[in-house]
Amino acid sequence: MTVGLLIGGFHLSRTIPACLSGSGSGKNGSTVAGTSVLSPASPLFLLVIPAWVIAYKSDQNIYHSHPIMYVLLFGLIAAKITNRLVVAHMCKGEISHRDAAMVAPLLLIINQYFNTFISETFLLYVSMIWVVIDLVWYCSKVCLEICNYLDVCLFTIPYSPTGQSSGSAGANSQNGNSAGPVTRGRKKNSRN
């Protein structure tokens, strides 16, 4: 096992400097969005460093008493940050460092700063609920925006009140053309 770790460490020590010294594919060596190549690292560092500080400085040993909740909380925050990075990359836009999910680590750090006047276990559960609600809200918002842009229905079945007859084209037919499940409500554009 140690041989594998040494080989992996050697490979990383050779490839990471090459990635960081290289430039992006955008103008003047930046990314296509016009940001630094290292810009995706800052939101992730803003997650990893507070996670380590909270676990290390906890008076109630929150990491050791509730490891699954702790790792799940910071994993869900990382999932939201990753989703935001993917959306920013697809839209060729910038990602802001302010995020509603980062309120949870901030709340835990402030509580530790003031000598844990609120139970860390209670704050962990409250933070978990906050992050789950925030992640579900963000993902549903992104899905709805994509569906609105592509003009597709999400979790709905278009119903025609006129009562179409079920012909040989099937239930998904629109103007005689069969549409698949993804393009069910999409308007067909004719190319002239």
Place of tokens 């940050």: 81
Whether 181 has a pLDDT exceeding 50, the answer reads no
> Amino acid letter at 81?
I
Predicted confidence (pLDDT) per residue in 131-149, tens digit: 999 999 999 999 988 888 8
For range 24-48, the mean pLDDT: 65
- The pLDDT tens digits for 96-135 are 778 888 899 999 999 988 888 899 999 999 999 999 999 9
pTM > 0.95: yes or no: no
pLDDT band at 159 (very low <50, low <70, confident <90, very high): confident
| Per-residue CA distances from 59 to 49, 56, 70, 103, 127 (Å) | 18, 9, 15, 20, 18
